[in-house]
Every structure is written in C-alpha cells, then in structure tokens.
Chain A
C-alpha cells in the first residue's frame, strides 16, 4: 500500500512537504548517531568488554537492527511523525504511551548533558588551563543562544557535518593502519573481536549496555516520515542502512584503535576517557590526538546538540500538547519559531546535571548508562507494541515480523538492561516509579492520557 493512502486510512492527509530521500534520511540518522561517536567512549567499552569492543559494537548493532525492524512495523502502521511515545500510545494504549514517553524522556533530556560533558572533556584535554565546568557552561551558553535564535540544521548542513566527521575518521584510519604496518601498536589481531580468555556473556552485555549509546539516534529518522519521498517503507530502509553503515564505521575504528592502545592491561583494569585519543597519538603523534579531540568537541558539543535539542523539544512539545506534561512546555516563541520554554528547561537541566557529573570520575559512564537505560526500556515497549498491535489486535499471521523478531529483539535488550550499570538501573527504576506517580496524578486530576488526533473509541480500546 502506498504511504499516502496509508496515512489517509487514519484520517490524516499528507501534510508535510515530501522532499527527503533515502540518502538524506540516512545522513540524518548518521548525524544523530555521530560516525565518530566511539572516540569518546572507546576506553569505557574496551574496559567493560574485556578488550573486545568490536564484539560489543557488533552485538549492539544486531540488537538495534531488531529494534529498527520494529520501528519499521510501527511507522508502517502509524505513518506519522512521532517517537516511540506515539507508537506505544497508539499501538497499545495511551497510558502505556505516557510511560514509554516518560522513560524515553530520561534518554532525550540527558543526551544534551552528555554531549556537553564529552565536548567539554575533549576541550579540557586540548586546553587544560580551562576547567571542564567552564567549557561546559560555554557550550551550553553557545548552544542555547543558537537554539533560541531558531538556527536549525538543514539538509545541506547535515551532509557537511557528516563529511567533516568522515574526513577525520578517514584520516585516523589511514594514519592508524599505516602505523600498524610500520610496526607501531600490537600488530593485527582478532582479539578486539573475540578473546576466549576474557569472554563471558554478562561481560559482553555489560559492554553492549555502554556501546549502544553510539547507535542511539537512529530512531530520529522516524521523525522525518511525513517528509520522506518514499513514505514509511523508505524510513524503515533508511534505519537499517544507517545502522549497518554506523556499525561498520564503529567496528572499523574501534578495531584499529584497540590495536594501538598504548597500555592494554592498564585500560582493562581502569577505563580512561582519553583512550581513543591516546591511541591516535600512538599512530600519528600529538597532532592526530588534537584533531580527534577537536572533532569530538565540535561534533558532540555543537552539531549533535542541535539535532538532539530538536528531538527533545519535539517529545516535550508532543507530551505537553497531549496534556501529559505541564502546558508551558507546549508554548513556543512565535518570534523565532522555537520551543523556547523547552530549550531553556533542557539548558538548565544540562548545566545542573552537567556540572554535577563533571565533578564525578564516572560522570560519562553514569550518564551513558542512564541514557541507554531510558532508550532500552522504551525500545522494549516498542517491541511489545508490534506484538500487541499486529499479532494480538490484528491477528497477523506474519509470525517472524510480528512476533518472533520483536521477541528476539526484546530478549537481547532485556539482557542488556539486566547487565547494565547498577546505579543506572536504580536511577532508572526511581524514574519509572516517578512516572507511575505522575500517571496516577494525571488520572486523579481527571486528565487521563490521550493522543492528539486519536479517536475516542481508540483511546477506550
């Protein structure tokens, strides 16, 4: 069925200008994921995975390919711009949508904090005289200014950003492989992919719980479904292509970096936030360290925050418009056409949490785990949505797509969540509990969750 027909089935008509093709959808997904994302968390993944970051990224990619498949199914069923909040609400029931939105909010609202923190750490490495907290305030101030002025990513800017990141990555790989051929590092080895001495499933899933951070953002492609030239089918395809491309890029860079780590045993026992840059220095010297650090600061601290800000604003706006969050979050500045209240809220949260985390030695680790916890929980519900909507409600006989694949994807994610950082699990549970309380308050106030444009009978169903 063609996408436009599909939309009209739900009482909607094609509204947004369809002008984004497969390449642009994939570019947007890559921009959100950041092709050089492992630069910042390489040390953490290396240490958690027992020196097998390549395997951790491969398992992460496979887990999220199942998630992408479920996204594709839900986008097909409800071809409307939205997030997992929308799909769970429409696919299962509005209260489930609220709880899913609440969990994914943990991910969305903390992503800018992590981006600012990582960028600040990178800049602090380049200019050690300026403390991390000062860099963090600079990054938040600059980005808040950009966002409040209504400056937005464009298709062209997205492509330029990807080009810049790929250029830096290409440079690192070229110099890295050349260095390995010259006998630097530890020479070629399969141990970053598999090492029997350190392998165990709990270790691997704990590493995956960190590594998946690099893939978070592929789901942002679903926000462009109404602008996609090929409709929902193209969105599903773009998600798969973006994930596989990102996976290949991540695997390649962490493999080369693993072979160049100056002190593998030291990194295994104590993770280092600068492990990737140290490996770059081994390969090419201080200039390559500075290039990779600068690329991380610019990609995470400026470009990616612009994309992340739009995503979190959309979620806050959608939930507030549906009266599931305070209404001030649905107010926008007409002067600059921006969700000013949401931007200011996210900036305040970023400064507060960012400053707190910058004082903790495990700040990046904890933020990463919390973000992944929110995303994984929401993705689990997404799989459930596919099963409920297709297998149970519509009685679909497509067992693989509508039952087996979501169950496998859900199973992997549950293992990842079980083996994640314990503190992150606790905070995740507290956040979930707060969500239940918020839902109860909404019911007590007579404001049971509903979704914009959803017919009343569907809400009651």
Chain B
C-alpha cells in the first residue's frame, strides 16, 4: 500500500536514480503544488470549483506543506483563485518536499567529490522500490489492469502535464501515452481535471516568463 502523499510520489517519479531532476525545477514545483492541492481536495479538506479553492475543514495531514496551505486558506474565507494557490505553493516546494522525504528515510543524502575535487551532494532513493511503487498506480491505470481511483487519476494527469510519461516504462508511443494519461485524469472527476488544467497552463506561462 502506498502511504506517501501525492507530491512525494510525483517527486520520486520526477527524479532519476541518482536524484537528478528530470525536468526544469519551475515546471516541477508547479506540478508538486498541484499535487498537494489535489491531495487536499480529494481528501475533503479543500473544495475546488470554478477556478477557486476554499478550505472546508482543518484536519492535520501531518504534511507541513499541505497543512500550511489549509491554514492559509482558512484565513481567507472567500477562498483563493486556483492559479494563485498553485503558484504560491510552488515557491520553495521542491526543497521542502525533498527535506520531508529525507526525514522519512525515503531519500538518503550522498556526498562525494567529482574527479576527487569538485564536491557534490545528491539525494538518492534509499530503496528503488519506493520509486516503482510511486508510479505503479499510473502504470496499472494505463494498461487497464486496475480501475484508477481519483488519486491515481490525479497522478496520471500531472505525469502527462510534466511529460514524465517515459518514467512509467510502458512500451507505448509518447504522444499516445500522454493522451491516455490526460484522458484518465479528465474522466476521473471535475476537480482533478480542473487542477491539472491549471498546472498545465502555469507550466506554459513559466516557460515564457521574462524573469525566472
């Protein structure tokens, strides 16, 4: 059983075995933020509709990022625009997620020197099984082995938006695979479709930003 929050799974899928990010950090951060929001929405803590999000109840999840987001939403009774929330949550989320994964022992810090001179620090998975588990649901959903639940559909949508389809190691042409992943997300629930669409738009806008 996969007990990790959605953004932890996405983090593992979006890095290679040596801990190197597979996509640009600005895109990944937006995806991770979308994952946090989706986890909260699917868990009934946040209501999402028509581009807006509002907290419905304060019930700690144990994840600092998610709990911070709920607290922030509770301070704004009128709710917040989804785009705003995803952007705001994306700020610093990559490092915070990595720290959380380090804290839970899913990642381990590896330090060394390249050519015996240049120091480096990597954050590698302690056990490759955690990475396999992270993407197992999405793989099963695409192959039709198992009916995807909303959480799995959300991960499928984010994997498609972030073009991490190759990390599912499925023998399918990329375009078809991405199309299928998007379809799974779209058919799942309006909330998943809405958040994934917002992340998709923000990833595009980040790519044409004047300054990063």
Identify which of A20, A28, A150, A335 contacts B163 (C-beta below 8 A): A335
Interface residues on A, range: 20 to 34
Q: Are B24 and A336 in contact (CB under 8 A)?
A: yes
Which residues of A pack against B, CB within 8 Å?
A: 12-17, 20, 28, 150, 152-155, 223-224, 227, 310, 313-314, 317, 321, 330, 332-339
Q: Are B210 and A337 in contact (CB under 8 A)?
A: no
Interface residues of B in 46-103 (CB under 8 A from A): 80-81, 83-84, 87, 91
**Chain B residue contacts of A337, Cβ below 8 A:** 23-24, 26-27, 203, 206-207, 212
B211 touches A227 (CB 8 A): yes
A172 to B114, CA, bound (A): 46
Residues of B within 8 A of A150 (CB): 24
* Partner pick for B87 among A15, A155, A317, A338, CB 8 A cutoff: A15
* Beta-carbon contact of B84 and A14 below 8 Å: yes
Q: A153-B211, A335-B22, A337-B23 are in contact. List 17 more A-B contacts (CB 8 A).
A: A12-B81, A13-B80, A13-B81, A14-B84, A15-B83, A17-B91, A152-B210, A153-B210, A155-B211, A227-B211, A310-B208, A314-B210, A317-B208, A332-B207, A337-B24, A337-B207, A339-B207
**For residue B162, which residues in chain A have a CB less than 8 angstroms away from its CB?**
334
> Which residues of B are found within 8 Å of A336, using beta-carbon distances?
24
The B interface is mostly helix, strand or loop, or mixed, namely: mixed
Q: How many residues of B contact A (CB 8 A)?
A: 24
Q: For chain B residues 15-32, which have a beta carbon within 8 Å of chain A?
A: 22-24, 26-27
Q: Distance in Å from the Cβ of A22 to the closest Cβ of chain B?
A: 16
B83 touches A338 (CB 8 A): no
Q: Is B204 at the interface (CB under 8 A from chain A)?
A: yes
Please judge, given known A-B contacts A332-B203, A334-B23, whether A314 and B208 are in contact too, CB under 8 Å: yes
CB distance from B151 to the nearest CB of A (A): 22
* B136 CB to nearest A CB, Å: 22
Q: Could you give, for residues 184-212 of chain B, a 1 whenever the CB lies within 8 Å of some chain A CB and a 0 otherwise?
A: 00000000000000000101101111111
Residues of A within 8 A of B211 (CB): 20, 152-155, 224, 227
- Point out the residue from B81, B207, B210 that lies within 8 Å of A338, measured CB to CB: B207
Nearest-neighbor residue (CB-CB) of A24 within chain B: B211
Contacts of B22 in A (CB 8 A): 335
Q: In the complex, which of the residues A330, A337, A338 has the most CB atoms of chain B within 10 Å of its own CB atom? A: A337
Shortest C-beta distance, A165 to chain B (Å), equals: 19
A339 to B206, CA, bound (A): 9
Min C-beta distance of B20 to chain A, whole Å: 12
